[in-house]
């Protein structure tokens, strides 16, 4: 496939965060962009307002005539999140189209670019967005494909005037093995996606293959302690090649110093809260230094950084109520998020609303989830969001709730959750999960914004 030949693009599963980034990229190039997704969301509505044609009924009759026969000007992109029996997906297969996964297209786009790829079972979206923001804010510039909506830019794709590209490298389905970066950042390698990998050793091997694809003279920046070869190890709780020290919280704001062998940047004010985000910032700072951004420019950029939608995002922050929303869906992500909330607000009663994501993940990490969720003063558990999976007998939110040790715990529907929040008006509320829990965000914000 030659990118400069492409005139029209169809994305099967256009509403996904990664797929929508590609849709915007090709629309930016002047291509006609079409797509299918099963439901309309604020993101698909935004894409339609940007001129893309999207259908929500999985029927091959909805495929435009321009996409009935393969040619060099037509590109079909699909996501594994789409069921294999999809009518539209099978239409393209039966017509003889070559179908490309999002990751393959990213690999092709990044060829010939100076690529900074950020991988990790958690932390990669915020870290890649930080890197891109530092490069943009400093005037160094870059293009970027991000796994979330960057709050500073209100989009998940950025366009630069140079050859630097920041890309979130997804380990799901080994997607990141299509990338050959100049700088590879690895934030974490916790067991996850065991429905794909089987066990942690195969996941770790996939990360080792990823960093093994580094271009000549490339650099690997990896969190200290990971079982992976790196050029630069980073940390926030011990000395490393790059590390944070003097971490402090003042009036809910996070400050720290950055150090490596050559540079000391004192009194960095991070524009977003969270101990885990300071750790992400250390990796982002080190990457920015490698591409020549000046320390003072980095410091200014991090102060101005507003984060990523649904990553420790403040929805309400007034004298009566604090409401934070986060995408955390793995026990270690939850631990980092809940620990940070409790550190910032040690005297407030914390109510957590959590929606488990995937039956397999709930099964594989049930004890870890239960331990971390027990940190909440009050826990509201929603039913498991199945995504691409069928139910597994015995794996339910009730099973998980029974393992939680804290006394204040409930299993509720979304409607019941809204009702109880309206009734009890918690002083500190945290919603967490990667499914459709985001449908609660706006209603909960409305409930807690007005007394």
Lowest mean pLDDT among 175-189, 191-205, 290-304, 366-380: 191-205
Range with the largest mean pLDDT of 125-139, 325-339, 378-392: 125-139
DSSP assignment string, 174-243: GGGGG---SEEEE----S--HHHHSSHHHHHHHHHHHHTTPPTT-EEEEETT-SS--SEEEESSS--SEE
Quick one: three-class SS letters along 38-78?
CCCCHHHHHHHHCCCEEECCCCHHHCCHHHCCCCCCEEEEE
User: What are the tens digits of pLDDT across the range 278-332?
Assistant: 999 999 999 999 999 999 999 999 999 999 988 889 999 999 999 999 988 889 8
* Residue ranges of domains in the chain, CATH in brackets: 3-100 (3.40.50.720), 112-303 (3.40.1190.10), 313-449 (3.90.190.20)
User: What average pLDDT does the segment 203-226 reach?
Assistant: 91
Residue 198: predicted pLDDT: 54
> What's the confidence (pLDDT) of residue 269?
98
What percent of the chain stands above pLDDT 90? Answer: 75
- State the pTM of this model: 0.84
Q: Is 438 strand, coil or helix? A: helix
The sign one gets for the Cα dihedral 250, 252, 253, 256 is positive
Q: How far is CA 309 from the centre of its chain?
A: 9
Question: What confidence score (pLDDT) does residue 237 get?
Answer: 81
Query: Residues 229-253: what's their mean pLDDT?
Result: 93
| Residue pLDDT, tens place only, 342-367 | 989 999 999 999 999 999 999 999 99
Cα distance between residue 276 and residue 126, in whole Å: 10
pLDDT top residue among 54 and 193: 54
pLDDT at 30: 96
Backbone Cα Rg of the chain: 22
Note the pLDDT tens digit of each residue in 92-136: 999 999 999 988 899 999 988 999 999 998 889 999 999 999 999
Q: CB 225: neighbour CB atoms within 10 A?
A: 11
Q: Quote the pLDDT of residue 387.
A: 81
Residue 12: in which H helix or E strand, if any? Answer: strand 8-12
In which band, very low, low, confident or very high, does the pLDDT at 339 lie, cut at 50, 70 and 90? very high
Residue 173: pLDDT over 70: no
Mean pLDDT value across the chain: 92
* Segment 430-451, tens digit of pLDDT: 999 988 899 999 999 999 997 5
Give yes or no for residue 266 having a pLDDT over 60: yes
Contacts of 30 (CB under 8 A, 6+ apart): none
How would you classify the pairing of strands 114-119 and 155-158? unpaired
Contact status, residue 158 vs residue 25, Cβ threshold 8 Å: no
Instruction: Reply yes or no on whether the pLDDT at 195 is more than 90.
Output: no
Q: Alpha-carbon distance 358 to 163, whole Å?
A: 38
Closest CA to 172 of 357, 372, 395: 357
Of residues 409 and 83, the one with the higher pLDDT is 409
Residue with the bigger pLDDT between 390 and 138: it is 138
Report pLDDT digits (tens) over 6-17: 999 999 999 988
Contact of 19 with 147, CB cutoff 8 Å: no
- Compute the distance between CA of residue 403 and CA of residue 373 in angstroms, rounded to an integer: 10
The sheet that has 53-55: what strands, in order across it?
Answer: 53-55, 32-36, 8-12, 74-78, 99-101
Q: Is 60 exposed, middle or buried (0-12, 13-18, 19+ CB in 10 A)?
A: middle
DSSP state of 330: S
252/242 Cα distance (integer angstroms): 25
| Closest to 353 (Cα-Cα) out of 326, 321, 379 | 379
Alpha-carbon distance of 63 to 2, in angstroms, equals 23
Q: Quick check: 253 and 269 in contact, CB under 8 A?
A: yes
Separation of alpha carbons 37 and 285, rounded Å: 37
Determine the 3-state secondary structure of 398 from DSSP: helix
pLDDT over threshold 90, residue 72 = yes
Structure tokens at 216: 């000549």
Other beta carbons within 10 Å of 405: 10
The answer to whether 244 and 256 have CB atoms below 8 angstroms apart is: yes
């Amino acid at each position: 496939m030659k990118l400069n030949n492409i005139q029209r693009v169809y994305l099967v599963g256009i509403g996904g965060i990664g797929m929508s980034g590609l849709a915007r990229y090709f629309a930016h190039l002047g291509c006609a962009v079409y797509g299918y997704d099963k439901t309309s969301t604020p993101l698909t509505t935004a894409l339609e307002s940007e001129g893309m044609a999207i259908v929500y009924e999985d029927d091959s009759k909805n495929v435009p005539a321009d996409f009935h026969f393969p040619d060099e000007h037509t590109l079909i992109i699909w996501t594994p999140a789409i069921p294999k029996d999809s009518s539209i997906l099978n239409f393209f297969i039966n017509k003889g189209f070559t179908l490309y996964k999002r990751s393959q297209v990213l690999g092709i786009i990044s060829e010939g670019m100076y690529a900074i790829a950020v991988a990790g079972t958690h932390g990669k979206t915020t870290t890649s967005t930080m890197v891109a923001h530092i490069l943009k804010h400093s005037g160094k510039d870059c293009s970027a494909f991000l796994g979330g909506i960057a709050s500073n830019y209100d989009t998940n794709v950025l366009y630069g005037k140079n050859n630097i590209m920041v890309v979130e490298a997804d380990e799901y389905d080994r997607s990141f093995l299509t990338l050959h970066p100049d700088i590879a950042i690895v934030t974490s390698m916790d067991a996850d996606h065991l429905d794909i990998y089987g066990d942690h050793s195969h996941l770790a091997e996939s990360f080792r293959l990823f960093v093994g694809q580094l271009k000549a003279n490339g650099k690997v920046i990896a969190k200290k302690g990971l079982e992976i070869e790196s050029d630069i190890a980073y940390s926030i709780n011990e000395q490393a090649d790059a590390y944070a020290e003097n971490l402090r919280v003042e009036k809910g704001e996070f400050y720290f110093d950055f150090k490596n062998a050559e540079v000391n940047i004192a009194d960095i004010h991070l524009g977003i809260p969270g101990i885990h985000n300071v750790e992400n910032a250390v990796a982002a700072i080190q990457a920015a230094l490698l591409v020549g951004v000046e320390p003072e420019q980095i410091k200014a950029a991090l102060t101005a950084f507003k984060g990523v939608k649904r990553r420790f995002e403040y929805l309400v922050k007034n004298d009566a109520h604090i409401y934070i929303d986060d995408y955390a869906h793995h026990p270690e992500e939850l631990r980092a998020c809940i620990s940070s909330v409790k550190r910032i607000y040690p005297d407030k009663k914390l109510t957590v609303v959590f929606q488990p994501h995937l039956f397999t993940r709930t099964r594989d990490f049930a004890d870890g989830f239960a331990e971390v969720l027990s940190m909440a003063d009050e826990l509201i558990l929603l039913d498991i969001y199945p995504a691409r999976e069928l139910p597994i007998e015995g794996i339910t939110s009730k099973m998980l709730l029974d393992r939680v040790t804290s006394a204040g715990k409930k299993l509720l529907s979304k409607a019941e959750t809204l009702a109880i929040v309206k009734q009890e008006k918690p002083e500190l509320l945290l919603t967490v999960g990667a499914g459709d829990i985001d449908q609660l965000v706006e209603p909960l914000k409305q409930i807690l914004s007005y007394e």
